[in-house]
Amino acid sequence: MKHTSSRRGRRLVAIIAGLAAASVALSGCLYSLIPESKPSSTTSLAPDTDGVSADLLPFYEQTLSWSECGGFECTTVTAPLDWNDPGAGDIELSVIRQRAVSGEAIGSLLTNPGGPGASGVGLIRDSIDFAVGSALQEQFDVIGFDPRGVGESTAVRCYDAADMDAYLFDIPADPRGTEGWTAERTQWNADFADACEANSDGILPFITTEFAARDMDLMRAVLGDKQLNYLGYSYGTFLGATYAKLYPERVGRLVLDGAIDPTVSGVDVSTTQAIGFESALRAYMTDCLGTSDCPFSGTVDQGMADLGTVLASVEQSPLPAADGRLLGADSLLTGIIAALYAEESWPYLTIALADVLQGDPEVAFQLADFYYSRENGAYLDNSTEAFRAYNCMDYPDDITDEAQAAGDAEIAAQAPTVAPYWSGPDSCENWPYPPTGTRGVITADGAAPIVVVGTTNDPATPYEWSVALADQLASGVLITRVGEGHTGYNKGNACVDAAVEAYLLQGTVPEDGLRCE
């Protein structure tokens, strides 16, 4: 599960569902913003092949064929399966484009919504106004793409809907923390990994952020851009920073919003996120207690204690839903986390918790389903499967028992509400391939200024990660959004929006340390 943790350090939690998943209010408005007709063309600029090696020229020289797709233009880009052995096979990358509304594009702006595993094609197709402000749409060809392994690109495949339901929502027979509980969870993870290997046509060892960043350079080139202009959210910041590490000379204007610190280990990710969600939950509780429909009362500490009692209650006696699923503590916590991504979603959390107190789990399951991109019993994308594939390859399995124990102790001390439900067997322990990723400082020496946006009480990518990334990057510039929720641009803060858009459009570098209240 995305927000649960591993015992061996690769606690691959909810970074991570990014903008395309849980950072919007749960009102359905995300899918109502499909634009009307836009200027279109079936041609692109000549590919940029400067400095490309001979074995990669067949990929960098390809000409794109665009077709109309619901008011946008769509195409596929052919990329090497293995960037270290370009002759070993191909994969397809799904790309969507909205042409500059002005009709005179200053270039392409690639976007990524996060995950890893969120669909960039879906983000642009279904909610471009949420992803990118109108000023950027006016002057850029806005590009969305599904990274390798994701969505409409050559994709990771694991389970059908019924098996995914069982994997995500079933409750082990033995009590949490017992040997039987651990053994059953471990077997579930092993079965899931086996299914991914069986159904993904050999692509699993090549689903890495490094290769996805190399794909992004290929897309830049075949779109005809000499440098990459990019707006990446959440996990998309790690993708963008990795690109800058690999190709600093090709960095144009990069904005990394809701950053991941590339130095943090799996156990540090888990620890920091647990504390971040606890902090966001306390902010929610503060707000809830000031409303007339809040199901809690008293002080914030009392409300949090009562919420802990609710989680313990459904852990002990899960609530049956109309579709036959049982709401236990894991599923309820997933629903809580989904609502914490955006302050606008807090009213839905209040309804869900009030209903759970009355024995009704339906709204809580709606929140959990939203988190997993599940609708009417079907999964709308493969984000859960791609999430696992990327993280099992990106995070080295090198955490000591001492570091794990220290992380557990810190979570217990600073995140007592979520702590009982945060730990579990390593979800990557039985992954069929060893990880190839590393964790370390990214400086991207020689890159143009890279703007990093951090939100002070971001629960999924805590603010200190944005500070750390901006400090690491030789050309990093930090913008701080003071507020709640995940990411900062295009969230109603005029100060952040103006600074980001001035940089992407005019190249005006924001003041380092700009603080937007």
Q: What is the mean pLDDT of each run of 10 residues along the chain (517 residues)?
A: 36 39 36 31 68 94 96 98 97 98 97 97 96 97 98 98 98 96 97 98 98 98 97 98 98 98 93 95 98 97 98 98 98 97 96 98 98 96 97 91 92 97 92 96 98 96 97 98 96 97 98 97
Strands 67-69 and 72-80: antiparallel
Cis peptide before 116 (omega within 30 of 0): yes
Buried b / exposed e over 129-141, threshold 16 CB at 10 Å, is: ebbbbebbbbbbb
Question: Do 192 and 131 meet the contact criterion of CB atoms below 8 Å apart?
Answer: no
Predicted confidence at residue 44, as pLDDT, reads 54
Q: Kindly report the pTM of this predicted structure.
A: 0.91
Give residue for tokens 């090709």: 250
Question: Do 459 and 342 meet the contact criterion of CB atoms below 8 Å apart?
Answer: no
Is residue 3 part of the annotated active site? The answer reads no
Radius of gyration of the chain, Cα coordinates, nearest whole angstrom: 22
Predicted confidence at residue 398, as pLDDT, reads 83
Predicted confidence at residue 209, as pLDDT, reads 98
Is residue 234 part of the annotated active site? The answer reads yes
Predicted confidence at residue 309, as pLDDT, reads 98
Predicted confidence at residue 88, as pLDDT, reads 95
Beta bridge partners of 477: 451
Span 389-436, pLDDT tens digits = 999 999 998 888 898 899 999 999 999 999 999 988 999 999 999 999
Q: Cα–Cα distance between 491 and 496 in angstroms, integer?
A: 9
The residue from 44, 270, 369, 486 that is catalytic is 486
Q: Cα–Cα distance between 276 and 43 in angstroms, integer?
A: 46
Nearest to 388 by CA among 220, 195, 232: 195
The residue from 458, 466, 475, 497 that is catalytic is 458
Is residue 90 part of the annotated active site? The answer reads no
Give Cα separations from 299 to 237, 294, 305, 411, 488 (angstroms): 37, 12, 10, 22, 29
Span 226-235, pLDDT tens digits = 999 999 999 9
Give residue for tokens 């990660």: 465
Give Cα separations from 273 to 255, 281, 285, 460, 503 (angstroms): 22, 12, 18, 6, 30
* Helix 179-199, helix 383-394: angle, nearest 10: 100
Predicted confidence at residue 16, as pLDDT, reads 39
How distant is the alpha carbon of residue 188 from its chain centre?
Answer: 23
Nearest to 117 by CA among 262, 284, 272, 234: 234
Domain spans, the chain: 1-291+377-441+466-471, 292-376
Chain mean pLDDT for the chain: 91
Q: Cα–Cα distance between 347 and 476 in angstroms, integer?
A: 36
The residue from 44, 234, 331, 345 that is catalytic is 234
Starting at the edge strand that comes first in sequence, how are the strands of the sheet with 450-457 ordered?
A: 67-69, 72-80, 90-98, 141-145, 108-112, 228-233, 251-257, 450-457, 476-484, 514-516
